[in-house]
Structure formats: C-alpha cells, structure tokens
Amino acid sequence: MASAPNDDSLTSTSWIDRALDGRLEKYRRWWRMSVVETVDQEEVIKQRRDEAYTSPRYLFMLAMSAGIAILGLLLSSPAVVIGAMLIAPLMGPIIGAGFALAIGDYKWLCGSALALAAGTILGVALTALIVFVSPLQTVTPEIAARTRPNLFDLAVAVFSALAGGYSMIRGREGTIVGVAIATALMPPLGVVGFGLATANWTVFSGALLLYVTNLMTIALVATLMARLYGFSARLSGKQTRWQTALIIAVFVALAVPLFFSLRQIVWESNAARLIRTTIVAEAGSEARISNIEFDLDAEPVTISATLLTPNARANAQELSEKALAEQLGRPVRLSLTQFRVGTGEEAEAIELLAAQASSRDAIIEEARLLEERLAVISGTGSDDITIDRDARRAIVRARIAGANLAAYRALETRIARESPGWSVRVEPPVLALPSIPFAEGAPTEAGRAALELVAWAALRRDQAVSLTGGSPEIRAVASELLAARGVQTTRIVGGPVMTAGWTATPAFETETSE
C-alpha cells in the first residue's frame, strides 16, 4: 500500500521554488530596467546598419588591407600584419549580420552577407595575384601560424566577439581596435590567397577554416549579445528557438574539426617528446642527441637521429624502433647513427662544433631571406645588394624613379626597422642637394633638417659636398655642422642663398676656398 506524500516535504519544496522564482524575477527586472532600457537600440541599429553594406569605401579599404596583409605575411613582419588588421573593414558587415539575425531583419542580413562575400572574394583574389607575381613564395612563420586552427582559436574568437558586441552596444567602440587584432580576420584571408596562388592546399584549407571560424563566431556571438540586450522585438518564440538551435549547430560544426586539430597538435607534441626520450633510453643514459628529424605524417613514421655516445650499442636502432612503434601505435622506420666520443669535455666540444655549424647555416638562410626582402622593398636586383654575413651588414644601391633624397632616407629607416640585428645602408644615386636656409647667422629648423639630409647622403655616397652662396660666416657655420657629422666640404662664393652640391672629392678629404 503506497504511503501518502509528506505534506511538510511538499510545502518545503514549493517554498524553495517560489523563492528561486522570485529571485530570478528580481534579477530579470533589474536587468531590464538598469541595463536593457538604458541602451538606445534605434541608434545602435542605425550605426550597425550604416557599416554593414557594400560601398566603394568598404571595397577600397578592404583591398588596401589585403595588400598590406599579404606583404606583411610574405616578409614575416608582425608589425605590418597588425597594421592590416587595424584597417580591415570586415567587422562592420559581420557584426551587422549578427544584429540582423537577432532582430529578424533578413533584408539587412542578406546585405551583410553580400558585403562579406564580395570582401572575401576581393581579398582572396588580390592576395593571390600579389603572391603569383611576387618572387617571394615561401611559407614564412607568419603564414604557417595561420594554417592549423584549433579550439583555442575558437575560444579567442568567442571572447573577442563578446568584447566587440558589448563595446558596440554600449557605445565604447575604441575596444574594436583590440578585437580586430585578437580575431585577425584579414591575415587568414591573405593566407588563403597565398595557398591558392601556390597551389598549397594544406595552407589553403587551414587558413580558410580559421577565417570561417573567426567570421562565424563573431557573427553568432554578436547575435547572442544583441538578444541579451533586448534586440529581438521582431522575433516570435518559434523564430527565437530556431535561432538558438542554429547557433548551437554552427558552434558544434566549427568545434568538431577544431577539436581534432587540437588533438593532432597535442599528439604531435607528445610524440616528439616520446621519440627523444625513447631513443636516449635505448641508447644509454650517457648518449646525447646531436640531431634529430622526423615526419609524423609519413606512413610509416620516419625518424632520422644522430647520437653522440661513449658506448655505442649495436642493437639501439632495433630496440628504439620497436619501442617507438609500441608507444606511438604506428609503424616506425628509424635511421640511427651513433658517433663514439669520449665523455665530458670531448662530447661537449663536438656538440659545440655542431651548434656552430647549425648557427652558420641559420645565418646564411637569414641573409638569403634578407636579400630577397631588400630586393622587394627597394625595387632592385640582387646585383645591387651587398651583404656581409659575418658583420651582419647590408648595402643597397637603390634606384627608384621619381624619388628624392628624403625618400631614400625614409626607405633606409624602414628597412632597418624591419631587419633587427642587421646594419642596413641605402646608397642613393647622385641627386640634387637641398638649399639650406639660415636666419640671424644660424640655420632655421628647415635648414637643420636640410643639413641632416645632406650629411646622410654624403656619408652614404662617401662623397664631399660644396656649399655655395650666403655669407662666409654662414658657410663656415654650415661647414662646421657637417664636419661634426664626418662630412668634409668645399666653400664657394655665390649668391645670397646657400645651396649644397656634390664635388669629386671623397668625403674624407677637404678643400676650402672663399
């Protein structure tokens, strides 16, 4: 016989439910009155709508951003890549699509989708064209970093989109600069163009997945933020449920391949650690790995290793191969070379020689990449570039049509900034030197700038200059200022305005006549 329910238990449960409902209703009422009703929804929608459609300005800025992004990727320059992120206008239609979905304005949604499609096609086409005609088509670290997205990239996009949606709703759009850098929409699009131009489909597919992940995440999180702040007046309950199901389905669809990508990265990291520790364990604790290379994508996994050991073991290769096959769960082909060396100082000396050889190879490769970068930036051929690898010094004999001395000096500054650890000098052609204005016996601000430019050009060409015109006192002052910078001068009587010119005298000799 079933017992009757306990009245005290039912009363207690009902009281708890009523208390929770009351507390939730209190929070909902606070959110509606203190947060939602303080947002000017009409103004927010107007601003988002204005930035969501295709326009000449949108296409122009996107093209400029794409060009900057692909050049920064090819040169492996993070600063240039960040600059492309900041001017990319893709955030407008993406956030617009999110708000349009939140309020059920499908005409707005279609307009934003068309703007994104046009921008994506333009960005991929332009970057692919630049890569196709460029002499630089190697996969740089900046390119490689955007070819293997994983769940962490999805998490970055979610947090960035939350910040972006909040800043746009609450009128704090300065935060969008940080959001643009964090989500990095344009660089992955540039890598897609690179993969297309070079027919590298691994790069193409990986970058495309990262681009789609960032794009969809920002749009859907913007939808959630808009719904949270009450931007859903036009939607019925059925539409809202359909919307929620769509957002969940898209996030799951994005998360699945990103999860497998992350799992692959973790597996490769663990596999690299296992390979090293297993080989050393089978070869003996005194063995040291001098060099190791492996291909985890090959079937079977191929490994090539060189060991320095005082006691070479004949069966170390077979034991290591068998142990690695068991631990990795895949067949392994190992090529193990053992060099018998003494212990202590002898082994360390051999390792030092190997490290020096590796460092030398790295410097040679760095110099080659620098030469390619200098040729692209300065518009010259390799015959006009001299590189001293040991001194880490480079000289560029640039010839740019229509450029003046100030442009060559700016070019040198830019190249030096993008080539840390190298001393780069740009040698300009023989161009007209500027006049040097003086006032009250001293150079004006423009005069000092002109003297600095004259000194720079003279030192780069290793050539003395002539100072013609002005009073003898003024010519003497200008000559002393140039001499302080290591430039010798010839002073010639002339007109009232002092001008600078070239002489046939080398910079380290001097000839003075009044």
Q: What is the pLDDT of residues 31-53, one digit of tens each?
A: 777 767 777 777 888 888 888 88
Instruction: Evaluate whether 438 touches 447 at the Cβ level (below 8 Å).
Output: yes
CB atoms within 10 A of CB 285: 7
Instruction: Evaluate whether 182 touches 221 at the Cβ level (below 8 Å).
Output: no
- Per-residue pLDDT, averaged over 333-349, amounts to 65
Which residue, 401, 386, 451, is CA-closest to 431?
A: 401
CB atoms within 10 A of CB 337: 12
CB atoms within 10 A of CB 446: 13
Tell me the H-state helices in 284-403.
Answer: 316-328, 345-378
Instruction: Give the rounded distance of the alpha carbon of 273 from its chain centre.
Output: 28
Both tokens assigned to 501:
């010119």
Has residue 18 got a pLDDT over 70? Answer: no
Has residue 510 got a pLDDT over 70? Answer: no
425 three-state secondary structure? strand
Q: What is the pLDDT of residues 201-260, one digit of tens each?
A: 888 988 999 899 888 888 888 888 888 887 765 555 555 677 677 777 777 887 788 778
Of 27-41, 288-302, 334-348, the range with the lowest mean pLDDT is 334-348
pTM, two decimals, is 0.57
Which residue, 260, 174, 207, 166, is CA-closest to 73?
A: 207
CB atoms within 10 A of CB 412: 20
Both tokens assigned to 40:
């000017």
